[in-house]
Amino acid sequence: MRTIAIISSKGGSGKTTLTLHLALAAFAEGARVVIADVDGQRSVGQSLRARQSPGPGLVETTVGKLFTLRVTAEREGCDYVFIDTPNAPDRDLVTAIG
C-alpha cells in the first residue's frame, strides 16, 4: 500500500483538487483507494458527494488517527491512501506522515 500526502503551506494552492484527482484516477484504474481528509474544512466530502458514480472511500479524521487508519487500510487490502491536509501543516502532521 502506498500513502500519498498532499502538503503545501499555502491556502488555495490546489491540495484538495490534486488529492481528488489523484484518488479518482487511481480508483478509475481499479485500485482500492481511501482519501483521509485531515483538513477541518472537509472540502473533499463536498466534492465527492456531488458525484453520482462510485468513487474512492473517504474518512474525515484527525492527524492523531492517521497511523491507525493506515494500518487498518493496509490490512483491508487498500492500494492507496491519499491524505488531504490543511494549510500550514503543523509538526504533528509531518511526524504522522513521515
Ligand X SMILES: Nc1ncnc2c1ncn2[C@@H]1O[C@H](COP(=O)(O)OP(=O)(O)O)[C@@H](O)[C@H]1O
**Residues engaged in binding ligand X (CB under 6 A):** 8, 11-17, 43
The stretch near Mg ion (CB under 5 A) out of 2-10, 14-22, 54-62, 70-78 is 14-22
* Distance separating alpha carbons of residues 47 and 88, to the nearest angstrom: 22
Question: What's the closest the beta carbon of residue 21 comes to ligand X, in angstroms?
Answer: 9
Site for Mg ion in 16-45 (CB under 5 A): 16, 43
* Distance separating alpha carbons of residues 90 and 48, to the nearest angstrom: 26
Question: What's the closest the beta carbon of residue 11 comes to ligand X, in angstroms?
Answer: 5
State the pairing for strand pair 57-60/33-37.
parallel
Ramachandran area for residue 77 (φ above 0: left; ψ -120 to 50: alpha; else beta): left
* Beta carbon nearer to Mg ion, 1 or 4: 4
